[in-house]
Amino acid sequence: MEEFAITLDQVPEKVYHVVPISLFEKYTNLDWVYDPRNRTDFGKDKPFVHTTPSIEQMNQSLTYLKELTDREFYLLEIETRKLDHPKITYAQFQDRIYHHLWCALNIESYTKRVVKKDSKNEINLSL
């Protein structure tokens, strides 16, 4: 998948990221800065945070979460204009655009809410 650099004004004002609660807690420091980059247990050891531009697209991209044993997740709504010095790229895969944030997420840039797997091991991220 090829990466393309873009400027902040070309990125949606909000993008979305789903993370198991246990890993969010593991990768969040005492200042509530969340940084899952370069981790082998989540994010495929990539140097960026994977995001999608909409809840609808995120719902279509959640198949990998079924493989995880975690039952509870945070849905992060990230306000891209509140990131500290972001480098942002995007990639297109199977007619979907993914935005990659090459920075940690400061507490001012995201809100989180709990989402859970249902009895069929599925997650619905409707707002």
Cα–Cα distance between 38 and 47 in angstroms, integer?
A: 5
Residue 104 lies in domain: 4-116
pLDDT tens-digit readout, 81-119: 999 989 999 999 888 899 999 999 999 999 999 998 888
126 within a domain of the structure (yes/no): no
CATH number of the domain enclosing 14: 3.20.170.20
How many domains does one find in the chain? 1
Please give the model's pTM, rounded to 2 decimal places.
0.89
Q: Could you tell me the two tokens for 86?
A: 């972001």
Quick check: is 28 in a domain? yes
* Residue 30 belongs to some domain of the structure: yes
For the stretch 38-59, pLDDT in tens is 998 887 899 999 999 998 888 8
How far is it, in rounded angstroms, from Cα 67 to Cα 8? 33
